[in-house]
Amino acid sequence: MYKKIALRNISTALIWQVATMISGLILPGLIINHYGSEINGVVVSITSFLSYITLLDSGMGGVVKAEIYSPLAQQDWKKVSAILVNARHFFRKIAYVFLVYSICLSVVFPKITDTSIDAKTLFFLTLILSLSLFAEYYSGLVNRLLILADKKHAFYNILQSMIVIMNLIVSMIMIYGHRSIVEMKLFSALVFLLNPFILSYYVRKKYEIDYHVKSETDFLKQKWDGLGHHIANMSRNTIDIFLLTIFFSAKEVSVYSVYMMILNILSKLLSIFINGSESFFGELLSTNQMERLKKYFSFYQFWYTAAVFIFMTTTIEVITVFLEIYVRQAASRGYLNPSFMVLITVAQLVYFIRLPFMNLIFANGRYKETKRYAFVEVGINILCSAIFLRFWGMAGLALGTLLGSIYHLVKVIVFFERFYFKGLWRKQLLQFILYTIVGGLSIVIVSRFMIHTDQLHIWFVLALIVFIFNSLLFIALSFCFFPQDKKKLFNLCFNRSFRVKKGTRHD
């Protein structure tokens, strides 16, 4: 059962992420080349400033899912309804605050950013970009959390794929029709507004939710403990964009956003391996199947880390040639920044490696015990980025993000060893060291043979060859040094026994 659910979730997630990847590659390039780097930078800055309001949700989304796993498994709809009513009330308060914040930002933003774009355009652009996020908090978020906690990822993934494709088509029609950026973003926002309405309809048809049940606030007592984690996750990119907006121009923000666009696409691809894991871990924890959980987690974490190193090594090796094709006159417009590229890619790699550990910790509801690590990461990120920015520009921002990420990863692994499965850190450390060495060697080898081209299809073939080379390299290394994980992979691929008896429990 678990295998079928996982395969269905992964396959539909792959469809969604491929759609997102295609859209994410096409739209920013069209905006930069049709409207200019300044417009693109302004859109990124406004979107980043709007996302600050999500601090008010205090990481509530993760807390709601952690609280809802057990009553969902028991089909206790009264308790599920009480949790959702409380959450909906909380999120709607945020929606009203966000509405006021958006209006204020639309007035203030033109005064704090260095741009030649007129204030009227910035005013309407800010309000339009806020529409979908307002609808998400007002109606869609609670329904999304319920659907994902119930492991209905397949439906959600297909819906998001359709929304992304529709948005791409509508946006391209507006761009090639020579419409203004305001008109293009307005029609894009209308497409995304479909999402909360469809989710609401689905929940009403599929679940027995009583929105008139009495709200019991103690169900969500951990919401403030989730705040630190929420701030840390949100601040990874927004701190850098905020500092660039204040101390540099919209063009530097555009350069930063293009690199992050590529890394975000990789994040979407890697999330295929992550999607559904938290709800799966939550179910095993709620039924106390610890031996089963340990076996699945060890396998999942090992091969997910291998995938992270393969993707990120390939990115470092092929990203420069891609940027020369993607952005016209990339070098003269400041889009080629090797030191920033390496540092921000490594920072993302460290962040990705942390995700399996955090998913299990969140599924277990251990927000309070780990929130201090998140707050310290934010402090390191802000302090180091602000200082290093003055000396090394964008590379300094990336270095600050990297140092904060390394601290958080180390502390999470130490916490994991203490409260969950002891002894895993030795294999993890060996894996990290070996993969880092092999990744470095791969970069040296590929840099000697990488061909520069101005044709996107030729670049795609070259990137695919590099990706296959890295995959074979890292998998061969894994088979040599970690034979047990090779055996588990073969058992899974060839449908052999890879399970622990369901009756194995720790009381």
The residues spanned by each domain of the chain are 1-224, 237-497
Q: Which residues are CB-neighbours of 68 under 8 A, at least 6 positions away?
A: 80, 83, 84, 145, 146, 149
Model pLDDT, residue 505: 40
Query: 6 pLDDT band (50/70/90 cuts)?
Result: low
Query: 313 pLDDT band (50/70/90 cuts)?
Result: very high
Contact present, 49 and 109 (Cβ < 8 Å): yes
Model pLDDT, residue 159: 92
Q: Is 342 exposed, middle or buried (0-12, 13-18, 19+ CB in 10 A)?
A: middle
Query: 268 pLDDT band (50/70/90 cuts)?
Result: confident
Q: Which residues are CB-neighbours of 400 under 8 A, at least 6 positions away?
A: 380, 381, 382, 383, 384, 385, 386, 387, 388, 389
Through-space distance between the first and last CA atoms of the chain, rounded to whole angstroms: 24
Query: 227 pLDDT band (50/70/90 cuts)?
Result: low
Model pLDDT, residue 346: 92
21-25, 121-125, 230-234, 255-259: least confidently modelled range: 230-234
How far is Cα 20 from Cα 270, in angstroms, rounded to an integer? 13
Closest CA to 408 of 371, 460, 444: 371
Model pLDDT, residue 498: 45
DSSP alpha helices (H): ranges in 136-249? 141-149, 153-176, 181-192, 194-206, 227-247
Closest CA to 450 of 324, 267, 263: 324
- Look at residue 1 and give its three-state secondary structure: coil
29-43, 407-421, 434-448: least confidently modelled range: 407-421
Model pLDDT, residue 255: 79
* pLDDT at residue 391 tops 50: yes
Task: Give the Cβ contact number of residue 286 at 10 Å.
Answer: 17
207-211, 306-310, 340-344, 456-460: least confidently modelled range: 207-211
Model pLDDT, residue 502: 43
Residues 239-252 have a mean pLDDT of 77
Supply the mean pLDDT for the chain: 80
How far is Cα 436 from Cα 308, in angstroms, rounded to an integer? 11
More confident site: 486 or 422: 422
- Look at residue 88 and give its three-state secondary structure: helix
Residues 452-475 have a mean pLDDT of 89
72-86, 179-193, 269-283: least confidently modelled range: 269-283
Query: 161 pLDDT band (50/70/90 cuts)?
Result: very high
Percent of the chain with pLDDT over 70: 79
How far is Cα 271 from Cα 10, in angstroms, rounded to an integer? 9
- Can you give the pTM of this predicted structure? 0.68
Model pLDDT, residue 497: 47
How far is Cα 93 from Cα 58, in angstroms, rounded to an integer? 13
